[in-house]
Amino acid sequence: MKRIHPNIPADGRFEPRVPLILPHDEGFMRLALELAREAAAEGEVPVGAVIAERTAGEYRVIASARNTRELEKTASGHAELRAIDEACRVRGDWRLTDCTLYVTLEPCSMCAGAVLNAHLPRVVYGAKDARAGAFGSVVNLAAYPLGFTPEVVPGVLADECSALMRGFFSSLREKRK
């Protein structure tokens, strides 16, 4: 049998390797959670994103954003897209090699596509998105032969990220009653 992609065995079963959670991952995810809380306070779906760049073994935040779809009245107001745009401006390049995206919710297909196009080598997310997640929950774009394959680390502070989402939507349902 011929392999369709180096990450997919010839029999078609995709078995991802276990991702490594690094010591600093939780701290950057906490920053993303703060941004998500700010989004919720403004009536936005609570998603926050942080991009950290590794330079000489040190990590520093070069971009951060939260959802702004309601505020800006645009479908592209996702935290991940806004953070990627900001990081590209900061670096003066569309390639975000040596960077990691931290986001409180698993990216959708639009945001996962931006991750692939920006050549972000690592994505760390908190809560899975059973309705639109594109890094494993609904589809796994990282498993397709799209020219670039990031390492995806799910579940960092998943309970906190999930609780924030549940609380937000519960509050919305209560307001609509």
Name the least confident of 2-6, 69-73, 83-87, 125-129: 2-6
Q: Both ends of the chain: CA-CA distance in Å?
A: 57
Compare 20 and 152 and report the one with higher pLDDT.
152
pTM: 0.89
Enter the tokens of residue 152.
């995806």
Sheet holding 99-105: strands in order across?
58-66, 48-55, 99-105, 122-127, 151-153
Average pLDDT score over residue span 34-57? 96
Q: Is the pLDDT of residue 25 over 60?
A: yes
Catalytic pick from 58, 80, 86, 174?
A: 80
Active site residue 70: no
